[in-house]
Structure 1
Amino acid sequence: MASSQCCENPPTLNSSFGQGSVEQIGGLKAYITGPSDSNKAVLLISDVFGFEAPNLRKLADKVGAAGYFVVVADFFYGDPYVLDKSQFPEWISSHGPDKAFESAKQIVADLKSKGISAIGAAGFCWGAKVVVELAKAGEIQAAVILHPSLTTVDDIREVKCHISVLGAEIDRSSPPELLKKFEEVLSATSGVDSFVKIFPGVAHGWTVRYSDDDEAAVKNAQEAHQDMLDWFAKYI
Structure 2
Amino acid sequence: MAGQDTPRGSVTRLHGLDAYVTEPADGRPIRGVVVIVSDAYGWEFPNSRLLADRYADKGGYRVLLPDFFDGHACPTWMVESLRVMMGSGNILSRAYAALWVAYAFIPFVVSQQLLGDAYSTVATFFSAVRAGPEASRGLPVFAAGFSWGARQAVLLAGGSEGPGGRPLVDAVFAGHPASNLDVPADVERAAAPVSFAVGDHDHAVSGDVLARLEAAAKAMGGELRVYGGVGNGFCVGADLAARDAGEAAEDAQEQAIAWFDAHAK
Quick one: which of 136, 156, 179 aligns to 1:134? 156
Partner of 2:63: 70
1:27 maps onto 2:19 in alignment: no
Counterpart CA distance in 2 for 1:215 and 1:158 is: 35
Deviation at 1:87, TM superposition (A): 4.6
1:1-236 aligned at under 5 Å gives the runs 17-34=6-23, 38=30, 40-65=32-57, 66-82=59-75, 83=78, 84=100, 86-96=103-113, 99-117=117-135, 118-137=140-159, 138-149=167-178, 150-152=180-182, 153-189=184-220, 193-210=221-238, 217-236=245-264
Is the contact made by 2:37 and 2:144 (CA closer than 8 Å) also made in structure 1? Answer: yes
Counterpart CA distance in 1 for 2:54 and 2:186 is: 29
Which structure's residues are more often helix, by fraction? 2
- Which deviations, in whole Å up to 9, do the C-alpha atoms of 1:152-173 show, x marking residues without a partner? 1111111111110100111121
Unaligned segments of structure 1, at least 5 residues: 1-10, 12-16
Is the contact made by 1:39 and 1:115 (CA closer than 8 Å) also made in structure 2? Answer: no
Change (3 A) 1:166 1:30: same
TM-score (norm 2): 0.74
Change (3 A) 1:188 1:114: closer
**SS in structure 2 of the partner of residue 143 of structure 1:** strand
Partner of 1:4: none
Counterpart CA distance in 2 for 1:28 and 1:176 is: 38
Deviation at 1:72, TM superposition (A): 0.4
Partner of 1:8: none
Which structure's residues are more often strand, by fraction? 1
Deviation at 1:78, TM superposition (A): 1.5
Deviation at 1:67, TM superposition (A): 1.4
CA RMSD of aligned residues (A): 2.4
Q: Flag the structure with larger Rg.
A: 2
Is the contact made by 1:21 and 1:32 (CA closer than 8 Å) also made in structure 2? Answer: yes
State the 4+ residue runs in structure 1 displaced beyond 4 angstroms. Answer: none
- Which deviations, in whole Å up to 9, do the C-alpha atoms of 1:106-138 show, x marking residues without a partner? 222222332223111111100101101111101
- Letter of the aligned partner of 1:69 in structure 2? R
Is the contact made by 2:237 and 2:245 (CA closer than 8 Å) also made in structure 1? Answer: no
Counterpart CA distance in 1 for 2:126 and 2:188 is: 22
Counterpart CA distance in 2 for 1:188 and 1:78 is: 37
Unaligned segments of structure 2, at least 5 residues: 79-99, 160-166
**SS in structure 2 of the partner of residue 96 of structure 1:** helix
Counterpart CA distance in 1 for 2:104 and 2:47 is: 24
Deviation at 1:186, TM superposition (A): 3.0
Counterpart CA distance in 2 for 1:112 and 1:139 is: 7
- Letter of the aligned partner of 1:88 in structure 2? F
Is the contact made by 2:18 and 2:67 (CA closer than 8 Å) also made in structure 1? Answer: yes
TM-score (norm 1): 0.83
